[in-house]
Amino acid sequence: MPGAPVDALRTVPLFANLDDEELAQVALLFKTRRFPAGETIVKEGTDAAAFFLIESGEAAVSVRGSERRSLGPGDHFGEIALIDEGVRSATITATTDLACYGLTLWEFRPLVVENGEVGWKLLQSVALKLRNAELS
Amino acid sequence: MRVLLPLTEVSDTSVFGSKAVGLGQAVRDGLPVPPGVALSGALVEAVASDDGDALALVAAAVGPLGGPLAVRSSAVDEDGAEASFAGQHLTLLNVPSAAELGTALREIWWSANSDSAITYRKRVGLFTRPSVAVVVQALLDPECAGVMFTRNPVTGADERMIEASWGLGEAVVAGLVIPDSYRVRRDGQVLERRAGLKRVAIRSLAAGGTVEEDVAAELVEKLCLDDARLVELSGLARRCEEVYGLDRDVEWAFADSTLYLLQCRGVTRVGGS
C-alpha cells in the first residue's frame, strides 16, 4: 500500500488542522524507508531533507552526545525541516531494526505551494507551536 | 517519464543520467559491457513509492538478466554533475533477483534524498530536486578487478596505470587493500609491476549482498594479472580512448576469463599537464 497511514499522521502537530482529504494527499507522498539497528538516521548539525514517522522499531535521540529519550512506533521527527530546510537539532540512531515513513521537502513543497488552504493550516500549526514556546 | 530501455538504446542524459548513457554508448561502440537495462529517474521514484505497476514493469524487463544483479545509481542532474556524486548515491551489488529490486530501488532513491546528499548538494550549489536513474546489470563474479587510467594521472606520462585486486573491484575503489599496480606502455609492454597486499576480497553472497572474505595466504602478494591480461587491458584502454577521447578512468573486471568494462569516466585533471 503506497504512502503512510492517515491515522498516524493525525498525531503530528504540523498536520493537526488538515482535514481527511488533505491528510490523504499528504499521506500519499510518503515513502517507506528501513534502517538496520545501529544506523544513524539523522545527525545533529546536518541539513535536513525529510520528516520521518516510525512504523516499527526503536530509536534513540541524543543531543551533543548525551542521550535524551527513545522513540518508538507512532513517534515522529523532523517536521519543521519540511518547511525551513534547517539543520538537525539532534542525532537519532536506530536501536533496533527500524521501519519509517519518510517525506522529503522536495515532495511536500509542491503540495503546499499549489494548495493555499493547506498552506494556511500549516501556518496556523506553526503559529500555535510558536505561541506555546513563548508561554513555556 | 516512467520509462526503461536496454542499455543499447539509452542516449538521453536528462532521462537516464550520464552513467547509463555512457554505458549505452559503450555497448553501441562494441565495448565489453555486461548486459543491462536503464530505468529513468521517474520510474525509480514510482517504484520507491510502492507503485505496483511500475515494479511489475521493471521486474518484467529485468527478468531476462537472471540473477544476481548489480544496481547502480545514475544521477540525473546538471551536465557533468555525475562524477561529483561519487559516494553520495548508492550502488547495490548482488541483488539476488528481480524480486528484491523494489527494496534496492527504494534504498537508492533515499540515498539521493538523504540528509547527507542534500547537505552535499547545497555545498556544491545544487538546489534542484534530486533525481536518480538506475542501471541494472547482471552481476559478474570476477576473478579479479580494478581500475585503470589510460594516462598516468600522477606524472602525466603516456602510459596505462592499472590497479588490481582479487574479487569485485569495490575492494580497490573503497581502499580495502593495497592493490597490485602496473604501468604499461600503449603497445602493451609492461614497464613496471608491483605486487600489493590484498588480504581481503569482496565476494557476492548467495542470499544477496556482499562480504569481505580473507584471501588465501598464497594469493595475498601474488600478482592478479599476467602479461596477456595486461595486453588485453591496454587494448581496452585504446578502445575507450577511441570511443570517448583521451585520459579515461576505467573500472574493469575479468570474469570467466573475459574482460569486461564496468565504467569509463573522464579524468578532469592529469598530473604533469
Per-residue pLDDT tens for B151-196? 998 888 999 999 999 999 999 988 999 999 999 998 889 999 999 9
Interface touch B122/A102, C-beta < 8 Å: no
Closest residue, chain B, to A44 (C-alpha): B115
pLDDT score at B269: 61
Residues A91-117, mean pLDDT to the nearest whole number: 94
Model confidence pLDDT, tens digit, residues B9-34: 999 988 998 889 989 989 999 999 99
Instruction: Show the 3-state SS of chain B.
Output: CCCEEEHHHCCCHHHHHHHHHHHHHHHHCCCCCCCEEEECHHHHHHHHCCCHHHHHHHHHHHHHHCCCEEEEEEECCCCCCHHHHCCCCCEEEEECCHHHHHHHHHHHHHHHCCHHHHHHHHHCCCCCCCCEEEEEEECCCCCEEEEEECCCCCCCCCCEEEEEEEECCHHHHCCCCECEEEEECCCCCEEEEECCECCEEEEECCCCCEEEEECCHHHHCCCCCCHHHHHHHHHHHHHHHHHHCCCEEEEEEEECCEEEEEEEEECCCCCCC
Interface touch B106/A88, C-beta < 8 Å: no
List chain A residues with CB under 8 Å of B109: 31
Q: Which residues pair with B210 in a beta bridge?
A: B204
Distance from CA of A105 to the nearest CA of B (A): 9
A12-26, B176-190, B254-268: the lowest-pLDDT one: B254-268
Please say if the pLDDT value at position B71 is more than 90.
yes
A-to-B residue pairs, Cβ atoms closer than 8 angstroms: 43
Give the gyration radius of chain B's Cα atoms: 18
Interface touch B119/A47, C-beta < 8 Å: yes
Spatial distance between the Cα atoms of B92 and B132, rounded to a whole number of angstroms: 14
Among residues B229, B216, B221, the alpha carbon closest in space to that of B257 is found at B229
Asked if B128 is an interface residue toward chain A (Cβ–Cβ < 8 A), one would say no
Greater confidence (B96 vs B11) lies with: B11
CA geometry: angle B117, B106, B200, nearest 5 deg:
75
pTM of the model: 0.83
Cβ-proximal residues to A65 (8 Å cutoff; 6+ apart), any chain: none
Asked if B42 is an interface residue toward chain A (Cβ–Cβ < 8 A), one would say no
Cβ-proximal residues to A17 (8 Å cutoff; 6+ apart), any chain: A121, A122, A124, A125
Distance from CA of B71 to the nearest CA of A (A): 18
pLDDT score at B83: 45
Spatial distance between the Cα atoms of B212 and B110, rounded to a whole number of angstroms: 25
A43 in Cβ contact with A87 (< 8 Å): no
Asked if B129 is an interface residue toward chain A (Cβ–Cβ < 8 A), one would say yes
List chain B residues with CB under 8 Å of A32: 50, 106
B261 in Cβ contact with B31 (< 8 Å): yes
Chain A residues near any Cβ of chain B (below 8 Å) = 1-3, 31-34, 42-43, 46-50, 88, 102, 104, 106
CA geometry: angle A60, A34, A77, nearest 5 deg:
45
Rounded to two decimals, the ipTM of the complex is: 0.87
Closest residue, chain B, to A42 (C-alpha): B115
All three cell numbers of B265? 569516466
Interface touch A32/B106, C-beta < 8 Å: yes
Spatial distance between the Cα atoms of A39 and A59, rounded to a whole number of angstroms: 10
Interface touch B113/A46, C-beta < 8 Å: no
Model confidence pLDDT, tens digit, residues B131-156: 899 999 988 889 999 999 999 988 88
All three cell numbers of B6? 536496454
Please say if the pLDDT value at position A53 is more than 50.
yes
User: Which residue reads 570517448 in cell numbers?
Assistant: B244
Please say if the pLDDT value at position B6 is more than 90.
yes
Would you place residue B268 in the very low, low, confident or very high pLDDT band (cuts 50, 70, 90)?
A: low
Closest residue, chain B, to A29 (C-alpha): B49
B153 in Cβ contact with B268 (< 8 Å): no
Spatial distance between the Cα atoms of A9 and B85, rounded to a whole number of angstroms: 33
CB atoms under 10 Å from CB of B46, counted, come to 22
pLDDT score at A51: 94
Spatial distance between the Cα atoms of B57 and B19, rounded to a whole number of angstroms: 22
Interface touch B115/A33, C-beta < 8 Å: no
Would you place residue B81 in the very low, low, confident or very high pLDDT band (cuts 50, 70, 90)?
A: very low
Please say if the pLDDT value at position B44 is more than 60.
yes
Backbone angles phi, psi at B133, to 5 degrees: -85, 175
Please say if the pLDDT value at position A128 is more than 80.
yes
List chain A residues with CB under 8 Å of B118: 47-49
Greater confidence (B85 vs B36) lies with: B36
Interface touch A42/B119, C-beta < 8 Å: no
What DSSP element (H or E) covers A69? strand A66-71
Spatial distance between the Cα atoms of B42 and B219, rounded to a whole number of angstroms: 45
% of chain A beyond a pLDDT of 90: 68
- CB-nearest partner of A47 from B50, B122, B129: B122
All three cell numbers of B260? 569486461
What DSSP element (H or E) covers A2? none
DSSP H helices, A11-63, are 20-28
